[in-house]
Structure 1
């Protein structure tokens, strides 16, 4: 599969024995929306509910932290995702959370994964079928081979900034990046990491929710001051939309891109980390 698949491609491939469709919708708590309830009400036929809200490390004080290997493997087996599957993620989230699922699965060693371009909204707009309910699944064997090449810790990010060995790309809105808009949690400072560039994740999409591609996409990175010839570390508020920018870079053929999972929730709450205010 390509990194992105079209709604027409998915419609034609539905029913293939090795194809698994996965709803990776996630909403921030303040949105007041229940992704699992919305999945039960309407989803692409045969789709599984990933439930990113629960697919986290429950022992971490940070939001949306990657789950332990054992938890990830157990969850995939319970979903009926097994070895040899082709997996297509979609979402119905303003944060395009299929990208988070795509990155997570790649990190845990699953190679044959793609994102449905335009997500559930495009599928619905085209009048394609939906189903409701919460199906049960047969457990299948799922092999995990975690590779942390695309994951960065706070210390690794600090080292990269000090050595100027990678470009830091912040996916948050411009107002949060500059510090003009304060963080909602009082224990988190405003601003951004020194030397970071700002590429708001929302800019990577067309009006219909499909991904920008080719030179139009490349121009967004260049306009933001990002050197595509250097390694990149993406960051955001809690590691969700950082995956959107990481996937956008992957669409441009970049493989030397990693994600800072703690993101600003960790960096901004640490009084010892360096912080900058204003535009890049």
Structure 2
């Protein structure tokens, strides 16, 4: 699995398995085992997903050495705050039965809370319990606020990103500040599969629309974590390293942007 070097020097796989909306149980355990069998080494979960126990079981049953895996989780909004975030991290580790995380993120930028939560992440990182720390769904002004008090800046910003929400200004800001961008919902929850432009590009390469989108992400230096529990989809999502999109094709995909979200607006969080 190809990796990128984060600002703090550690390497993160460019492709991972997302497990959003996958319930605890055998299906998730099997998906992780199949993904790691195929070569995935990055698993992305979150406290609010309610499936960290099964993620941990899948990791243990995969047979892959812990040090060869890259495990991400996130602290939920209700647990933002210095002491609350420390406790939430301990609970995530307990559920997964892990000694450390590779990456821990603040899930949403809840105003008035995320700077205290960030201090907790910095402490956990300094104590060696997290290899890298980052944020999710942060806009430029959230990152600017964080910069005023942060000792360590985020190495990752995980955001909703797909051909109809390209977020070019945010990506440019993150790149300038050595923050890697990671895309959640890269396939727009399947909402782009019938797009004629993407279908035409996919047919030209003998690939699926999903593969074209994920390839577009990689060529834009975006880390991706597509979600699936179906073995054939997990395999398909990984088969993106044997072709390349032209500059013209990438421009066609860029032109699909409509600033259209399938998830919440980070500036209007009501949960």
TM-score under structure 1 length normalisation: 0.25
Higher relative contact order (CA 8 A, sep 6+): 1
